[in-house]
């Protein structure tokens, strides 16, 4: 009996320790990539603060080392009754710990104790709406935006700027270039430092209109373009900016606020509008967000962190649905642009960490989709990497620290490459150089 218990525990501990080091050793061998993933990636991409990730990463390595040591002890002393007893005690204590943790978490959540009431670090932001519902009360993130029954939210109108565009402050008689996208397009810097504004510096004969809105997914980008498309003259250049994680937002009905979503219905996708403004509070009460099991969520989160090298955005949850709905939305956009005879150009935005690790499915999906449909696109990773190599600097100088958005320098580089794209009609992407 002792020998059987020790062999089972020894092999289990060995497998566990090897699993940890096989997954995390590549990160240990690349300090720059480790800093990018543990420190520089914004919390919104994985639900964990940098300090917590560093602590968990260190603890995981120690745990892996302890597991390998214990496996060696169990296998060497496989007949030891004392080791067998320790293994049984450990298994019982682990089970009790998970039960106690579950109880404490549920009681704490019921009593609204802050450390338990928003356990967002147990929910993967890439795998559904729950993280965003737990992270912030209804409507907080879109309080500075105006409710829109089709888009969910859009910028509030301002005197002389009914669209609420971040750029320009007023329109003139020049031909226009139209920009649609999320916060990378809208810009989180001064309006004059956004990509559309910088684009005017390189193409002064055109006035850029910035229709980018923070938090938008591909669905909202398409819908906003659809709203404006009839007003855009034929032959006008249209720039569509997509951050790779915008693909995840397209399957959400809630992203820090209620938004539209397209759900599969036969061979098509059905548009589902956000709830009416007056029904939002009631709608939220009818759909309370709860974590089914905190202990299981803890184990799942730990496994995700190891297998994704502490970048949970790499998780492939809902992959087929995300690819299908985004392909549908982008095809709708392409067809609309063709009907209106608009000149489409695309921008693929990436996170800072992507410069130090292989590209994930999102980037491959976007470049593959656009290349297959013979679209002109700018891959920001290629453009920023090229400029960084010319200056012999690291690409992170083009990003805002601990934020993840491009800074004014990064926006200027993208605008410069876009102006070349318009002039030459050549791709600056991962497929063509």
Q: What is the pLDDT of residues 48-82, one digit of tens each?
A: 778 888 899 999 999 999 999 999 999 999 999 99
Do 122 and 301 touch, CB atoms closer than 8 A?
yes
Do 236 and 343 touch, CB atoms closer than 8 A?
yes
State the residue for tokens 């990773």: 381
DSSP string, 115-158: HHHT-GGGS-GGG-SHHHHHHS-TTGGGTTEEEETTTEEEEPPB
Which band of pLDDT confidence, cut at 50, 70 and 90, is reported for residue 138? low
Q: Mean of the per-residue pLDDT values for the chain?
A: 88
432 belongs to a structural domain: no
Say yes or no: 355 and 325 in one domain: yes
Which carries the bigger pLDDT value, residue 277 or residue 45? 277
Which band of pLDDT confidence, cut at 50, 70 and 90, is reported for residue 432? very low
pLDDT tens-digit map of 235-274: 999 999 999 999 999 999 999 889 999 999 888 899 999 9
Axis crossing angle, helix 294-307 with helix 50-76, rounded to the nearest 10:
90
Here the CATH number for the domain that contains residue 173 is: 3.40.50.1110
402 belongs to a structural domain: yes
369 belongs to a structural domain: yes
State the residue for tokens 């102006």: 419
342 belongs to a structural domain: yes
| Nearest C-alpha neighbor of 421 from the set 293, 241, 290 | 241
3-class secondary-structure state, position 400? coil
Which band of pLDDT confidence, cut at 50, 70 and 90, is reported for residue 431? very low
Say yes or no: 333 and 401 in one domain: yes
Which carries the bigger pLDDT value, residue 96 or residue 131? 96
State the residue for tokens 């990730």: 53
**In the predicted model, what is the mean pLDDT of residues 321-331?**
97
3-class secondary-structure state, position 188? coil
pLDDT at position 166:
92
pLDDT at position 144:
57
Do 170 and 387 touch, CB atoms closer than 8 A?
no
322 belongs to a structural domain: yes
- What does the longest C-alpha to C-alpha distance in the chain come to? 88
Q: What's the token pair of residue 130? A: 């729950």
Say yes or no: 47 and 192 in one domain: no
Q: What's the token pair of residue 268? A: 């098509």
| Nearest C-alpha neighbor of 396 from the set 353, 360, 348, 349 | 353
pLDDT tens-digit map of 32-50: 778 777 876 655 555 577 8
131 belongs to a structural domain: no
The CA distances from residue 104 to 112, 119, 134, 159, 333, in Å, are 12, 12, 18, 52, 49
Say yes or no: 246 and 165 in one domain: yes
Say yes or no: 83 and 150 in one domain: no
Q: What's the token pair of residue 141? A: 């993130």
% of the chain with per-residue pLDDT over 90: 62
Report the alpha-carbon distance of residue 399 to residue 380 in Å, rounded: 12
| Nearest C-alpha neighbor of 27 from the set 18, 19, 37 | 37
Say yes or no: 394 and 246 in one domain: yes
297 belongs to a structural domain: no
pLDDT tens-digit map of 187-209: 999 999 999 999 999 999 999 99
**In the predicted model, what is the mean pLDDT of residues 117-126?**
78
Q: How many structural domains comprise the chain?
A: 2
End of a domain among 117, 152, 184? 117
Say yes or no: 166 and 241 in one domain: yes
| Domain of 201, in residue numbers | 139-282+315-424
Say yes or no: 56 and 110 in one domain: yes
pLDDT at position 117:
63
End of a domain among 86, 117, 148? 117
292 belongs to a structural domain: no
The DSSP output letter for 256 is: S
Which band of pLDDT confidence, cut at 50, 70 and 90, is reported for residue 157? confident
Q: Residues for the chain: how many in total?
A: 433
Say yes or no: 147 and 112 in one domain: no
Say yes or no: 143 and 111 in one domain: no
Q: What's the token pair of residue 19? A: 């699993």
Say yes or no: 187 and 332 in one domain: yes
State pTM to two decimals. Answer: 0.89
Do 315 and 127 touch, CB atoms closer than 8 A?
yes
């Amino acid at each position: 009996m002792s020998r059987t218990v020790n062999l089972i525990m020894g092999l289990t501990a060995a497998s566990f320790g090897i699993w940890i080091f096989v997954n995390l050793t590549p990160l240990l061998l690349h300090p720059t990539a480790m800093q990018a993933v543990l420190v520089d990636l914004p919390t919104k991409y994985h639900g964990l603060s940098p300090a917590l990730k560093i602590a968990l990463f260190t603890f995981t390595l120690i745990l892996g080392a302890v597991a390998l040591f214990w496996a060696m002890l169990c296998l060497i002393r496989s007949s030891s009754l004392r080791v067998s007893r320790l293994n049984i005690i450990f298994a019982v204590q682990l089970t009790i710990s998970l039960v106690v943790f579950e109880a404490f978490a549920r009681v704490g959540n019921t009593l609204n104790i802050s450390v338990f009431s928003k356990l967002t670090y147990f929910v993967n932001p890439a795998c559904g709406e729950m993280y965003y519902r737990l992270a912030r009360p209804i409507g907080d993130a879109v309080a500075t935006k105006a409710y829109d029954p089709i888009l969910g939210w859009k910028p509030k109108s301002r005197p002389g700027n009914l669209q609420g565009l971040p750029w320009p402050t007023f329109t003139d008689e020049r031909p226009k270039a139209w920009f649609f996208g999320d916060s990378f397009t809208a810009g989180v810097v001064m309006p004059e430092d956004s990509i559309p504004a910088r684009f005017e510096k390189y193409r002064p004969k055109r006035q850029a209109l910035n229709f980018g809105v923070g938090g938008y997914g591909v669905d909202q980008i398409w819908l906003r373009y659809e709203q404006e498309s009839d007003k855009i003259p034929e032959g006008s250049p249209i720039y569509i900016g997509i951050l790779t994680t915008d693909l995840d937002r397209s399957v959400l009905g809630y992203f820090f606020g209620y938004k539209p979503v397209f759900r599969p219905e036969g061979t098509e996708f059905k548009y589902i509008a956000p709830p009416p403004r007056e029904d939002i509070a009631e709608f939220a009460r009818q759909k309370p967000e709860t974590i089914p099991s905190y202990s299981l969520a803890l184990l799942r989160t730990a496994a995700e962190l190891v297998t994704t090298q502490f970048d949970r955005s790499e998780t492939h949850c809902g992959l087929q649905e995300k690819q299908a709905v985004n392909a549908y939305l982008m095809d709708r956009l392409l067809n609309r642009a063709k009907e209106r005879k608009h000149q489409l150009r695309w921008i693929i935005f990436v996170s800072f960490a992507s410069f130090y690790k292989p590209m994930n499915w999102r980037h491959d999906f976007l470049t593959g989709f656009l290349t297959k449909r013979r679209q002109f696109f700018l891959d920001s990773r290629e453009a920023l990497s090229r400029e960084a190599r010319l200056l012999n600097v690291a690409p992170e100088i083009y990003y805002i620290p601990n934020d993840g958005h491009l800074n004014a320098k990064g926006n200027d580089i993208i605008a410069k490459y876009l102006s070349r794209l318009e002039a030459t009609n050549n791709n600056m992407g991962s497929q063509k150089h």
